Structure 1
Amino acid sequence: MNNEKMNDYTNYLVNWIKEEVKNANQKGVVVGISGGIDSAVVAALAKLAFPDNYLVVWMPCESSELDLKCKNELVNNLNLKNIVEIDLLNTFNGLKSEIINKTNNENKLAMANIKARLRMTTLYALAQSNNYLVLGTDNACEWHIGYFTKYGDGGVDLVPLVHMLKRDVKNAAKLLNVPASIIDRAPTAGLWENQTDESEIGFSYDLIDDYLEGLNVPENVKKRIEYLHNISSHKRQLATKPLKSINEI
């Protein structure tokens, strides 16, 4: 996507966010930032859509020094004034310890996903307090393969990046003055130390981008993407309901 088209699309997203907030009878938007590129782009869109009625939330929870550095650079580059820090580490450790002590079962991914779900809870508390909507940060690749936490970073009101490939997000980030340190860093969900998205998924975002654009990718990658898409379908839907009501039995 060339710069002119990307500029048109980011303008479209800004107007779309405004319209959705208006339709919901709300006043603005809230977004959590992580030091990563997707949340940086959404933060930029949030400020453009609602210069006075946006809230950016930094929620450290075993976050790295690089996360903090990138967050600070983003705040400076975008001149983000409406920002609040909510430290979730003690809450996370307390809940994690309670679950492990009572169940004697520690699933690494389940425990790590507590972080995403605590952040969702925090964002909705702040959103409700301000009559705001919660903006999600998942891009087209993550959405397609289900690489997000159900009722965590997937628990949002609006998903502005859902039609953007990872390479599209990078192009948008450059136009929106996101720091190079964020654009160039290896994508990570910050689930545990030294975790990266691509090492966990098993291949690069470039290959997922190519697949979604209809380009040729290795057969094993194609099968893996289709498998991940199928098993994660429940994440892209609301809670499943019975097919029949009591009057239909």
Structure 2
Amino acid sequence: MIDLRLGDEELTAQRDHIVGFIQDVVADAGATGAVLGLSGGVDSTTTAYLAVEALGREHVRGLVLPSRVSSDENMSDAERVAEDLGIDYDVIEIGSIVDEIVDSIPDAAEDTVAVGNTAARVRGVLNYYVANEENRVVLGTGNKAEALTGYFTKYGDQAVDCNPIGNLYKQQVRQLARHLGAPEDLAEKPATAELWADQTDEDEMGVGYDVVDAVIALHIEGGASTAATARELGVEEGVVETVRELYEKSAHKRSMPPAPEPADL
């Protein structure tokens, strides 16, 4: 497996660069601060630490938005991050909101994926309600692997104004979390979007994050062939093809909604 970890100087440079980015986004928007969803995972934890460094704790607000399938452990971790950082936060149970939406659809089958995606979109709505009411920007918490494999809900967790860690691989996010002083148990915590019970990112994708990161670096962005990438990483070619397929099928999530070319009149 290739090593995508950053050196100490690179970590410091990334930290300073992202802090400056957040400051610029808020200033350019004429906003008073930022709001972000806190899940208790490494991505939102890292983003929260960066936001506080960039803006000061008084200008960062967290939203802890548990659904019916959210674990008590993850919600406790989310609140712990807010309390450790000293930021204002609210806990808003979204289960009844999701239920109201599902119940309003005649003959809804209550499909697990559809309900999970609805929960992600409800969270986006609440983030933007606070942002609109308090003149804040919404900070996304997605990393590079999620963005390039489409591992996010369209108009849900990527309904944001910016993605501070969006160009970092998952293993780099874990490094940066430690560099920022986040608790080790959160830096190493297995990733889950908690869209349904016992769901984890890696189980759903079928590939571990270290492999996803490496395939993106070598094959999708680096241009190495499927065979060469598989040999370099010591994995089956089918693994590389799985990541490639995730990337290709999710292209629509990374683009503006299409419109037809002007008609010849």
TM-based fold match above 0.5: yes
Separation in 1 of the partners of 2:31 and 2:76?
Answer: 32
Task: Give, in angstroms, the shift of residue 179 of structure 1.
Answer: 1.7
- How many residues end up aligned between the 2 structures? 244
Separation in 2 of the partners of 1:5 and 1:83?
Answer: 31
**Are the counterparts in 2 of residues 188 and 195 from structure 1 also a CA contact under 8 Å?**
yes
Partner of 2:248: 230
Partner of 2:226: none
**Are the counterparts in 2 of residues 30 and 46 from structure 1 also a CA contact under 8 Å?**
no
Separation in 1 of the partners of 2:189 and 2:144?
Answer: 19
Separation in 2 of the partners of 1:206 and 1:175?
Answer: 19
Task: Give, in angstroms, the shift of residue 195 of structure 1.
Answer: 0.6
Separation in 2 of the partners of 1:213 and 1:234?
Answer: 21
The answer to whether structure 1 residue 177 and structure 2 residue 209 are counterparts is: no
**Are the counterparts in 1 of residues 36 and 138 from structure 2 also a CA contact under 8 Å?**
yes
Separation in 2 of the partners of 1:186 and 1:160?
Answer: 21
Separation in 2 of the partners of 1:148 and 1:33?
Answer: 15
- Runs of 5+ consecutive residues of structure 1 not aligned to the other structure: none
The answer to whether structure 1 residue 53 and structure 2 residue 71 are counterparts is: no
3-state DSSP class of the match of 1:126? helix
Task: Give, in angstroms, the shift of residue 212 of structure 1.
Answer: 2.2
- Runs of 5+ consecutive residues of structure 2 not aligned to the other structure: 1-5, 219-228
**Partner residue of 1:134 out of 131, 138, 146:** 138
Aligned-residue sequence identity (percent) comes to 30
Separation in 2 of the partners of 1:59 and 1:106?
Answer: 20
Partner of 1:24: 29
Query: Alpha-carbon deviations, 1:107-162, whole Å to 9, x = none?
Result: 22111111100000000000011111111111000000100000000111101111
**Are the counterparts in 1 of residues 82 and 88 from structure 2 also a CA contact under 8 Å?**
no
**Partner residue of 1:89 out of 64, 87, 95:** 95
Separation in 2 of the partners of 1:179 and 1:147?
Answer: 25
Separation in 1 of the partners of 2:60 and 2:146?
Answer: 25
Give the alignment's TM-score, normalised by structure 2.
Answer: 0.87
**Partner residue of 1:80 out of 82, 86, 95:** 86
Separation in 2 of the partners of 1:65 and 1:84?
Answer: 16
The answer to whether structure 1 residue 195 and structure 2 residue 202 are counterparts is: no
